[in-house]
Amino acid sequence: MNQQVKTRKSWLKLEGRKLVISGPCSAESEEQILETARALAQGGHVDYFRAGVWKPRTMPGSFEGIGKEALQWLKKAKEETGLKITVEVATPQHVYEAIKAGVDVLWIGARTTVNPFAVQDIADAVAGLDIPIFIKNPINPDIKLWMGAVERFKKAGITRIGLVHRGFSYLGETKYRNRPQWQIPIEMMVTYPDLPMICDPSHICGNRTMLHEVAQKAIDLNFDGVMLESHPNPDEAWSDAKQQVTPSRLNEILDQLVLRESRQDDELIQNNLELLRGEIDEIDADLLAILGKRMNVAKRIGHFKKERNITILQQARWEEIVQRFIELGLANGLSRSFAIKLITAIHDESINNQEKIFRSEE
Ligand code: PEP
Ligand code: MN
């Protein structure tokens, strides 16, 4: 760790407002880039124009970006609109090309942050350049990888670093494309209070409907800004079509964001409270998923008993379950009476379900 290098939020010149980064997921054509940049600049909210020029795709054969040719379109957009430009870089060659084209900020994508070798290669490529870098969280919820990337860039002498929270992949059921797991960016904010934290609702949501809600939540958590994808014709986008919105819809979303007053001394309390509530919400989701799974097993038992003509209630088994529940509950800091109430409610529901199976014809 290099303690000498000082990073600071002020490089973004936020002064009480929020930073907005927007633009298409991918650069597709010069017209698309110019049309989007013009419309976004006109809206007056956007500070940085983003577009993916090299796209890290999970499967080969899908659109992998136009490549360096598109940097010229971005350069044109910058000259014409005055918006600063930012692109994702994943290799030292990308860094070289982007800087040559006058890109103002480089960003490190989620699929790169997971790989310390790749991050180090990029850090070596920017060493001594002092270009600003936004670092997206890694795809998996491993805060250490995110921190490691920050440290690698600090060590390379980069003083202007921003963090981008784009959510974390999750195999279970979730309404998000990438679960926000707010406690992770909050922990990053506490660890690096001098680094701006930007939320990317587009990649968290994976759809258009929840963008405002997630952006507002980030603002309420005192994030420093948002990154949102915008495309003149979202349905026809070559990548991430479902989550992109037109520049006019984007401006509407931004207009509707409420910036709340935040007293400095309340901030930590609020963040901690939100952190804990976020944890509760996630645990509740897990709890219900597990209960659903348990109920499915109970239904399978119902079918089994029906086929063999066995009674639903097996007294000895029930007593054994209650006893086990009480013991496990106590071991986990839960009272005896709560354990009994809980298992009784679960068991009642299992019996109801099994009864339904007994009554049904199949
Ligand atoms: C993107 O911003 O288009 C992108 C590829 O994002 P991420 O690295 O967060 O998946
Ligand atoms: Mn995208």
pLDDT averaged over 10-residue windows placed end to end, the chain, 362 residues: 52 80 98 98 96 91 93 98 98 98 98 98 95 98 98 97 97 93 94 95 98 95 95 97 98 90 65 84 93 94 88 84 95 94 93 89 59
What is the Å distance from ligand 2's center to 289 Cα?
A: 29
Per the CB < 8 A criterion, the answer to whether 164 and 135 are in contact is: yes
- Determine if ligand 1 sits within 6 Å of the CB of residue 166: yes
Q: Any idea where the domains of the chain sit in the sequence?
A: 19-256, 267-359
What residues contact residue 187 under an 8 Å CB cut-off, 6+ apart? 143, 275
Residue 17: what pLDDT? Answer: 83
Give the DSSP H or E segment for 147: helix 143-155
Cα separation of 255 and 257, whole Å? Answer: 6
**Which residue has its alpha carbon closest to ligand 1 atom 10?**
110
Atom of ligand 1 at shortest range from CA of 137: 9
Cα separation of 272 and 293, whole Å? Answer: 32
Best mutation site among 105, 111, 179, 239 for ligand 1, i.e. most ligand atoms within 8 A of its Cβ? 111
Atom of ligand 1 at shortest range from CA of 203: 9
Nearest to 12 by CA among 166, 173, 196: 196
Per the CB < 8 A criterion, the answer to whether 86 and 103 are in contact is: yes
Residue with tokens 């910036």: 259
Give the DSSP letter of residue 351.
Answer: H
Cα separation of 352 and 357, whole Å? Answer: 9
Best mutation site among 203, 227, 228, 239 for ligand 1, i.e. most ligand atoms within 8 A of its Cβ? 203
Nearest to 29 by CA among 2, 64, 65: 65
Ligand nearest to the CA of 177: 1
Count CB neighbours of 220 within 10 A. 15
Ligand nearest to the CA of 231: 2
- Determine if ligand 1 sits within 6 Å of the CB of residue 43: no
Cα separation of 181 and 305, whole Å? Answer: 41
What is the Å distance from ligand 1's center to 109 Cα?
A: 5
The C-alpha angle 352, 353, 356, rounded to 5 degrees, equals 90
Residue 6: what pLDDT? Answer: 60
Best mutation site among 134, 200, 202 for ligand 1, i.e. most ligand atoms within 8 A of its Cβ? 200
Cα separation of 20 and 221, whole Å? Answer: 16
Residue 261: what pLDDT? Answer: 64
- Determine if ligand 1 sits within 6 Å of the CB of residue 198: no
Atom of ligand 1 at shortest range from CA of 112: 8
Nearest to 354 by CA among 291, 293, 310: 310
Residue type, 314: Q
Count Cβ neighbours within 10 Å for each residue of 330-362 and write b for 16 or more, e otherwise.
Answer: eeeeeeeeebeeebeebbeebeebbeebeeeee
- Determine if ligand 1 sits within 6 Å of the CB of residue 109: yes
What is the Å distance from ligand 2's center to 238 Cα?
A: 10
What is the Å distance from ligand 2's center to 24 Cα?
A: 8
- The SS3 call for residue 172 is coil
The strand pair at 197-199 and 105-108 is best described as: unpaired
Cα separation of 170 and 121, whole Å? Answer: 28
Residue with tokens 């000895």: 316
Best mutation site among 94, 164, 165, 166 for ligand 1, i.e. most ligand atoms within 8 A of its Cβ? 166
Superfamily of domain 267-359 in CATH is Chorismate mutase (1.20.59.10)
- Determine if ligand 1 sits within 6 Å of the CB of residue 52: yes
- Determine if ligand 1 sits within 6 Å of the CB of residue 237: no
Count CB neighbours of 214 within 10 A. 22
What is the Å distance from ligand 1's center to 18 Cα?
A: 21
CATH number of the structural domain 19-256? 3.20.20.70
What residues contact residue 118 under an 8 Å CB cut-off, 6+ apart? 90, 91, 112
pTM for the whole thing? 0.74
- Determine if ligand 1 sits within 6 Å of the CB of residue 136: yes
Cα separation of 100 and 80, whole Å? Answer: 18
Judge if 19-256 and 267-359 fold alike in CATH terms. Answer: no
Per the CB < 8 A criterion, the answer to whether 240 and 202 are in contact is: yes
